[in-house]
A and B are shown apart, each in its own frame.
Chain A
Amino acid sequence: ETGVTQTPRHLVMGMTNKKSLKCEQHLGHNAMYWYKQSAKKPLELMFVYSLEERVENNSVPSRFSPECPNSSHLFLHLHTLQPEDSALYLCASSQGTGFSQPQHFGDGTRLSIL
């Protein structure tokens, strides 16, 4: 399924760098999400956008900054990250944030912090 596309697929960066992760959905959905997936840990919800407005921020450190310019695009801006931020970052979208709607995921960006 290629309805949700994430770029880049892999990213290696130093702790002082600034980079951005990009997500684009082609499903006509109006809600988008960022998740962090670390080894041996459950998926962690980071941010939720509905109709391009942030509706939830699960106490994520300010070194992660999301941006949702329209309903099809979502960015995650990264700066001064820490080694523990190394993980797979997954973007997802859904039709609304209603309880019955499944989320559709991209293939993720594998982030490694040196």
Chain B
Amino acid sequence: AQSVAQPEDQVNVAEGNPLTVKCTYSVSGNPYLFWYVQYPNRGLQFLLKYITGDNLVKGSYGFEAEFNKSQTSFHLKKPSALVSDSALYFCAVRAYGQNFVFGPGTRLSVLP
């Protein structure tokens, strides 16, 4: 069975500092990994995905994520956080032939 863990319910970071939102996963076979962001009163927006190839994936709004197979992790990162990055972030995993499984979400607060 597939599963996704986001170990932190809440992450606080000062504006201009680097941010990391953590994600670990469990899946049989090769994982296909995704990050989504949800702003208040909105649906989820796709940020980036890892399917194969380079372990460092770049996405929208300056976000990037690093796939680490040995640690079964796919942490989301940004070099310099903005107040407007404050939102709810979801990691998702999918194995071939399976549906998406989403993590519980991590609330990011960027403080001015």
Contact = CB atoms under 8 A, between A and B. Distances in A.
Interface of A: 1, 4, 6, 40-43, 45, 48, 56, 90, 92, 99-100, 102-108
A41 B102 CA distance: 10
Interface residues of B, number: 25
A99 B45 contact: no
Contact of B34 (A45, A56, A90, A102): A102
Given A4-B43, A100-B32, A102-B34, A42 B104 contact: yes
Contacts, number: 49
Interface of B: 4, 32, 34, 36, 41-46, 49, 51, 90, 94-105
B94 A90 contact: no
Contacts of A1: 45
16 contacts: A6-B43, A41-B104, A43-B102, A48-B99, A99-B95, A99-B96, A99-B97, A100-B51, A102-B49, A103-B100, A104-B46, A105-B43, A105-B44, A106-B43, A107-B42, A108-B42
A40 B88 CA distance: 12
A56 B99 contact: yes
A45 B99 contact: yes
A107 B43 contact: yes
B99 A90 contact: no
B46 A103 contact: yes
Contacts of A40: 104
Contacts of B103: 42
A50 to B, nearest CB: 11
Given A100-B51, A102-B34, A108 B43 contact: yes
